[in-house]
Amino acid sequence: YGRLAIAVVPSDKTTSALADLPVEALRLPFPIIEGLATLGVPRIGPLAAMPRAPLALRFGPDIARRLDQAFGRMGEAIVPVRPVDPVEVSRNFAEPIGAAETIAKYIGKLVPLLYQGLDERGQGVRRLDLLLHRVDSRTEAIRVATAMPV
């Protein structure tokens, strides 16, 4: 919302740094943003100067909480995005196989299982890795990548 994607502001300059930002920068629910627009309060500075009690009566506790977080008076927990375990399917063979047709046949059997695992999680893929483990302990890898999840 500001000129810079990230800004480090001294604690005594927080008020002036936030004053000209739009109220959308507080990450308030859309109905509250609309209500503030109706009141003619488009920026954080004028909003922060308003008495809190009438705002809380009209809009609930969200405005006060978000202002306190923005001004550093209240902490905000950061919930990290944790990577999910990849969906994997595999097939082991008692004897080595080398014919391209046989490999293609078993890939064709594994793809529906992979799709099912992804579908159960509501996920798509952007990268698929086919790992073929050889009898000489080497691994051959084939990677397919897409720009958008499929």
What is d(CA 146, CA 150) in angstroms, rounded to the nearest whole number? 8
Please check the confidence at residue 1 and state whether its pLDDT lies above 90.
no
Query: 48 with 16: CB under 8 angstroms?
Result: no
Distances (CA, A) of 99 to 64, 78, 79, 92: 68, 51, 49, 15
Q: Is the dihedral of CA 41, 46, 48, 51 positive or negative?
A: negative
- 142 or 11: which leads in pLDDT: 142
Domains of the chain with bracketed CATH: 11-70 (1.10.150), 83-150 (no CATH)
Per-residue pLDDT tens over the stretch 104-130: 999 999 999 999 999 999 999 999 999
Is 0.75 topped by the overall pTM?
no
- The contacts of residue 121 (CB under 8 Å, 6+ apart) are 84, 87
